[in-house]
């Protein structure tokens, strides 16, 4: 008996051939069944039906006793993205099986010629199946992607989700992407958004930055199809709303989709191009100005709703997640009427729009400050402003001390984010959020002494300094350094993220999971010192530890990354990060329980609440 196996559109099929009286005969079943579903009911599996009918016709003579197709658990391999399976017993009955690039050739004794014809059919159809899985029709036109990670993941890169925001569309809400004819190449990243030099560790795999940058990328398991309905994870990169892009290697989608999700990563307008707010812009847009970058995210989510099913995703199970400014954006989108109904779960990594490092001003305040900056450019009208070259605008923007953060514009945000949460008008969706142990590692760059720390406490908190030093002690130089890092972490990121969790817990009517990431990374090219620094979590979440320049990756790093990916994708699937083989992650409820993500994972009650209750009454006296 000879067993052959192969896959078409990710469906494993097996063929069984028996020798009979020195020859071979064929009797094919009248109906093919895949996973207990009659093939006639699988309308999308056109290639499977063609394959079956072709084999039925070919083996209509008495050449084999039986060829049987059924679901298969045979060993699988992968060549050039074409899945292939075979059984070691294939040498029986004098047959042989030879693997070629992308296909299989079967030889059955004297029936070699006929078998090769069938093999040619299999080769052609397997190639068609691969091409079909890499070609997807979107509302704007068809796109053709590529396989990555040894054929495990299909990648569709540089997909336009909105029109290029250039010319008259500069500083306007995003418009729909224009349609195209034919098939668009989706094997390369689109340009990242125009920006100045923000952070050294931001490395891009596309060319130079450009204002024509509203592209997203879709990564799906190689066997995903239109009927897969996999959970969707929508990533929003960080960078202070002024830097970053979806082509950074640490955001690559080689690994996360292997956990059974469809990953979407996006570019959005940054800095002056994403958040300029002036009176003229407000007048032009019925009172709303700024937040173009956040409106881009909404447009990206709308694109997902309209198109993601074709890539195997479920538009009714979308998780937004982001780090730093991306986490600020997640908390903001939860408060935005414009994003309502476009996502169903949220993950925030280090940051929230609850004051602190990225305070959101009113549109009126921004009109004044940004208007003065525009006046310094020597232009008199919006037309003249829109005609200025990209480089000149970036050069002038770099000189503006206050930057260009989001604002309460009256459209994307109708009120302050914390007020929306306080009144319970935010999205009532499951939330997973937390931060890293050493977000304020920059505070340790110059060291700290007992005298220096106590002097700082007295200067900043005066009559409250004794209470402050109980929470952030400094009895030794080492303790003072640790407290400086902790206070820097809280003032920079942790406190605002904690306030978000608390606000959602009070009025969000949905489950919450809180984490604290504690495994300190070894020094690398852009991150000296041994810290769980700000942004350290990204490569763990995406499984991309090897993309960090100069990084020494330890076994405990790889183990924790695998756990990160499982927790995050489990949450995207069900709203609960827990799953087989993972340490239990308790809900963040009355007991204030959270999980500690370290080389050994543990969980327990929060011990830091007294610090944040102190900061509620005595807000940090400085911002970053």
Closest-CA residue to 555 (of 518, 516, 600): 600
Distance CA 280, CA 437 (A): 44
DSSP assigned state of 483: H
Token pair 């009172």 is at which residue?
287
First vs last Cα of the chain: how many Å apart? 72
Q: Which tokens go with 84?
A: 């292939």
Residue 516 neighbours by CB distance under 10 Å: 18
CB 237, CB 350: distance < 8 Å: no
Q: How far apart are CA 263 and CA 572, in angstroms?
A: 11
- For the question of residue 534 being annotated catalytic, the response is yes
The answer to whether 324 is a known catalytic residue is yes
């239109």: which residue's tokens?
Answer: 226
CA distance 120 to 103: 8
- Which residue's entry shows tokens 């047959």? 95
∠ Cα 55 60 66 (to 5°): 75
Name the nearest CA neighbour of 6 among 124, 152, 122, 112: 122
The catalytic residue among 247, 324, 483, 535 is 324
Among 192, 350, 534, 535, the active-site one is: 534
Catalytic position from the list 211, 323, 367, 439 = 439
Angle at 96 between CA 95 and CA 100, to 5 degrees: 150
- What is the crossing angle of helices 477-489 and 450-461, to 10°? 40
- What is the token pair recorded at 417? 């984010």
Residue 615 host element (H or E): helix 609-617
- Active-site residue list: 324, 439, 534
């Amino acid at each position: 008996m000879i067993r052959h196996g192969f896959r078409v559109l990710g469906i494993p099929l097996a063929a069984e051939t028996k020798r009979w009286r020195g020859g071979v005969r064929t009797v094919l079943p009248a109906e093919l069944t895949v996973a207990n579903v009659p093939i006639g009911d699988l309308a999308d599996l056109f290639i499977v039906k063609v394959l079956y009918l072709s084999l039925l016709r070919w083996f209509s003579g008495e050449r084999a006793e039986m060829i049987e197709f059924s679901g298969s658990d045979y060993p699988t391999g992968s060549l050039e993205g074409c899945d292939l399976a075979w059984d070691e017993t294939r040498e029986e009955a004098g047959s042989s099986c030879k693997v070629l690039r992308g296909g299989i050739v079967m030889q059955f004794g004297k029936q070699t010629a006929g078998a090769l014809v069938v093999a040619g059919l299999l080769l052609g159809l397997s190639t068609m199946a691969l091409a079909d899985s890499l070609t997807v029709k979107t509302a704007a036109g068809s796109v053709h992607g590529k396989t990555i990670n040894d054929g495990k993941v299909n990648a569709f890169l540089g997909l336009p989700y909105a029109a290029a925001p250039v010319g008259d569309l500069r500083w306007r809400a995003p418009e729909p992407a224009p349609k195209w004819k034919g098939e668009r190449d989706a094997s390369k990243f689109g340009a990242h958004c125009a920006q100045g030099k923000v952070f050294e560790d931001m490395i891009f795999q596309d060319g130079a930055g450009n204002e024509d940058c509203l592209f997203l990328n879709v990564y799906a398991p190689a066997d995903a199809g239109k009927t897969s309905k996999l959970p969707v994870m929508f990533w929003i990169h960080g960078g202070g709303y002024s830097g970053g892009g979806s082509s950074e290697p640490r955001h690559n989608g080689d690994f996360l989709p292997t956990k059974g999700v469809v990953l979407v990563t996006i570019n959005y307008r940054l800095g002056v191009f994403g958040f300029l707010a002036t009176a003229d812009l407000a007048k032009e847009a019925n009172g709303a100005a700024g937040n173009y970058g956040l409106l881009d995210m909404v447009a990206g989510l709308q694109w997902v709703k309209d198109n993601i099913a074709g890539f195997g995703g479920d538009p009714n199970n979308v998780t937004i997640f982001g780090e730093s400014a991306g986490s600020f954006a997640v908390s903001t989108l939860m408060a935005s009427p414009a994003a309502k109904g476009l996502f169903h779960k949220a993950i925030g990594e280090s940051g929230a729009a609850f004051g602190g490092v990225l305070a959101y001003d009113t549109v009126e305040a921004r009109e004044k400050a940004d208007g003065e900056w525009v006046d310094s450019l020597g232009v008199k009208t919006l037309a003249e402003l829109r005609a200025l070259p990209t480089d000149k605008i970036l050069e002038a923007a770099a000189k503006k001390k206050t930057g260009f953060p989001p604002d309460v514009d009256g459209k994307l945000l109708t009120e302050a984010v914390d007020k929306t949460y306080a009144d319970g008008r935010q999205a009532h969706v499951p939330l997973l959020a937390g931060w890293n142990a050493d977000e304020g590692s920059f505070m340790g760059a110059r060291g700290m002494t007992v005298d220096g720390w106590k002097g700082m406490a007295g200067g900043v908190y005066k009559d409250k300094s004794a209470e402050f030093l109980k929470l952030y002690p400094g009895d030794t130089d080492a303790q003072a350094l640790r407290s400086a890092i902790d206070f820097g972490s809280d003032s920079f990121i942790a406190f605002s993220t904690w306030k978000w969790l608390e606000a959602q817990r009070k009025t969000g009517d949905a489950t919450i999971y809180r984490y604290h990431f504690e495994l300190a990374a070894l020094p690398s090219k852009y991150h000296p010192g041994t810290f769980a620094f700000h942004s350290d979590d990204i490569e763990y979440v995406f499984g991309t530890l090897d993309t960090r320049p100069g990084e020494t990756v330890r076994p405990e790093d790889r183990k924790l990354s695998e756990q990160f990916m499982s927790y995050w994708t489990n949450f995207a699937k069900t709203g609960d990060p827990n799953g087989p083989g993972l340490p239990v992650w308790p809900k963040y409820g009355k007991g204030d329980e959270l999980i500690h993500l370290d080389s050994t994972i543990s969980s327990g009650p929060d011990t830091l609440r007294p610090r944040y209750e102190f900061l509620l009454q005595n807000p940090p006296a400085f911002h970053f």
